[in-house]
Amino acid sequence: MDEQYFEYRTGETHPRKNSRGLIAFLLICVIFLCGVVSVLGLLNIHLLAQLQRSGESPLSFGEGNLSLTAPEGDSLTVAGITVQELSDLHQQVYDLPAGLYVVNAPEGIPVEPGDVLTTFDGTAVTSLEALNALLTQTKTGDRVWFVFSRQGNTFSYTIPLGD
């Protein structure tokens, strides 16, 4: 027989609630959270294995900090801004848009290393070859409209092409 309690406010007797249901619910929540953490761990292991197989290392662990390293390979400099192609792995690991990674930029302009050049004068660019083809269609002194992405935000910048 369930235990009873008396409610002074109403003068009625009620059966005491059983706490076993709450305990079972909490155990189910803990088991679910452990499962989520395990799945995330497996995804991380899969990503690290993919990094090892590809031979790329888009992460730097220097001085205990985890930071983006610039992709290696050919580069192209346009109006003082040096860009390199992004591998699919870099895009996936850092959730970057398709485009060209800014390795170096002159001071005095809003472009910084780590930005991604996504558009050149209204045309999407994802390779150095595509950017070079667009450059051959411009003349020295033309003002070119660039669109960059930085941490999920986009901004545009018009740059005159130099000699």
Q: What is the pLDDT of residues 16-68, one digit of tens each?
A: 666 677 788 888 888 888 777 776 666 666 666 665 566 555 554 444 444 44
Give the pLDDT mean for 123-138.
88
CA distance 68 to 156: 23
User: For the chain, which residues make up each domain, given as ranges?
Assistant: 4-54, 70-160
Q: What is the DSSP letter of 18?
A: P
Q: Which CATH class is domain 70-160?
A: mainly beta
Give the pLDDT mean for 95-104.
88
| CB contact at 8 A, 148 and 116 | yes
- Res. 118 pLDDT band, cuts 50 70 90: very high
Give the pLDDT mean for 123-133.
89
Q: What's the pLDDT score for residue 119?
A: 93
